[in-house]
Structure 1
Amino acid sequence: MTDSPDRPPTRWALGGTATSQGYGRHFARLVDDGADLEGEARLADTLVPRRATILDVGAGMGRVTAALTARGHTVVGVEPDAALVAQARETYPHVDVLHADALDLAPPLLEGRPHAFDLVVLVGNVMVFLAEGTERLVLSAVRRVLAPGGRVLVGFHPHGAPAGSREYPPEEFVADAGAAGLTVHLRAGSYELHPPNDDYAVWVLGTEDG
């Protein structure tokens, strides 16, 4: 469910296999070197109760999905890049990573898995690699799978992001989130909650009724 003639390609897909392979090799080396790759997961873990349900959108090679699974949560990863899904399943055989696009989030895709999540994670520049014009659609899809009181953790470079991605000014992101029924609970400059800055933006979003 990752390809559709009516759906524009993601900026990630437009980068071709070189982008995917470079990303995969980079994180494979970091895993082999024992690097700390759990900054996003540590923050995510503080946002939910024990044994929460978590959806990792744009799961990549599975590092955040794996880290949160190891903390006792029920985690579903969703990744549209087939090569990264294969790498995730090889690197972390115990994780649940689906080969699918965020726009496919719906009960049929999630059959046999939670349909509502305490937390949805979109970290590692997922938002700036989406297909052009789909930001609000993705945020709306995320909003629909939130459990009551659920929240969303987002992280991306608003400016100076990796090659092939877009500039995403904070005020535009806030407007898109609002149009999708999400409100800003927190903005920080890192996953360790440093003050907001222009280099990286970390957001915790929720709903008005949450």
Structure 2
Amino acid sequence: MTLPPTRWELAGERNRAYAESFATRVADGSDIDGEARLADAMAPRGARILDVGSGMGRVAAALAARGHDVVATEPDAALREQSRATYPDLEVLSHQALDIPELPGFDLVLLIGNVLIYLGQDTERDVLAHLRSLLAPGGRVLAGFHLHGTRNGSRVYPADEFVADVEAAGLRVDSRFGSYELHPPNDEYAVWVLSAAAAEQA
């Protein structure tokens, strides 16, 4: 199966500042665990968690350190290399979101750090439906992205369009926040908690 290129892939070297920024923050001892704290609070102890587009591995590593069974996937070879250098105990698969194999059910699937606005063009519903199929009964999705895009090839993904895609993929929106610290919704950034629609849970 030939997968369409992601927007991240098409942007190429223009996105290297992301990795450099987080490498600097790790070296400085900055707090980079905000998303992981929320994910940890949402999950049962020892949960099975899938981190899609795990980047340099910071969230997946933090959750593994908290005792969760974490599967990290990152198609960008340079980010996988950075992840191995920063978190050598964290295994990272090379799958794109649409290519993640049918692994055992996940209690929580993460789409953190603008992953959704860097997917391949017109693949959003397919990705959401595929990730829904990987959820364990009662499993949830935690996603976050800038509603107006960022730069370097990302798309603009309005909230109403995202909700329509979520519902078409057999998911539902349980909650929307303005940050991973659960601030009220705003027009800039959205954090979403999703679960399988009622028919999918039956």
- Give the TM-score of the pair, scaled to structure 1: 0.91
Q: Partners in 2 of 1:180 and 1:22 — Cα distance?
A: 33
The aligned residue for residue 74 of structure 1 is: 69
Which of 44, 47, 53 pairs up with 1:52? 47
Which of 164, 168, 176 pairs up with 1:179? 168
Q: Aligned to 2:138, what secondary structure does the other structure show?
A: strand
Contact 2:117 2:149 in 1 (8 A): no
1:27-48 Cα offsets, whole Å, 9 max, x none, are 1111001111111111101111
Q: Aligned to 1:195, what secondary structure does the other structure show?
A: coil
Q: Partners in 2 of 1:37 and 1:62 — Cα distance?
A: 11
Greater shift, 93-102 or 180-189, is seen at: 93-102
Q: CA RMSD in A?
A: 1.2
Q: How does 1:41-120 map to 2 (within 5 A)?
A: 41-107=36-102, 110=103, 115-120=104-109
Q: Aligned to 1:15, what secondary structure does the other structure show?
A: helix
Residue type matched to 2:129 in 1?
S
The aligned residue for residue 22 of structure 2 is: 27
Contact 2:73 2:92 in 1 (8 A): yes
Q: Partners in 1 of 2:149 and 2:98 — Cα distance?
A: 26
Is 2:17 the counterpart of 1:18?
no
Is 2:137 the counterpart of 1:148?
yes
The aligned residue for residue 161 of structure 1 is: 150
Contact 2:145 2:191 in 1 (8 A): yes
Q: Partners in 2 of 1:198 and 1:163 — Cα distance?
A: 20
Contact 2:14 2:152 in 1 (8 A): no
Q: Partners in 2 of 1:163 and 1:196 — Cα distance?
A: 25
Q: Partners in 2 of 1:77 and 1:160 — Cα distance?
A: 24
Structure 1: which 5+ residue stretches go unaligned?
A: none
1:160–1:145 distance in 2 versus 1, CA, 3 Å: closer
Contact 2:149 2:157 in 1 (8 A): no
Distance apart, 1:197 and its partner CA: 0.2
Count residues with an aligned counterpart. 199
Q: Aligned to 2:73, what secondary structure does the other structure show?
A: strand
Q: Partners in 2 of 1:52 and 1:160 — Cα distance?
A: 31
Q: Aligned to 1:176, what secondary structure does the other structure show?
A: helix
Q: Partners in 1 of 2:141 and 2:46 — Cα distance?
A: 17
The aligned residue for residue 7 of structure 1 is: 3
1:66-122 Cα offsets, whole Å, 9 max, x none, are 011111100010111011011111110111210111111223xx5xxxx21000000
Identical amino acids, percent of aligned pairs: 60
Q: Aligned to 1:120, what secondary structure does the other structure show?
A: strand
Larger helix share, 1 or 2: 2
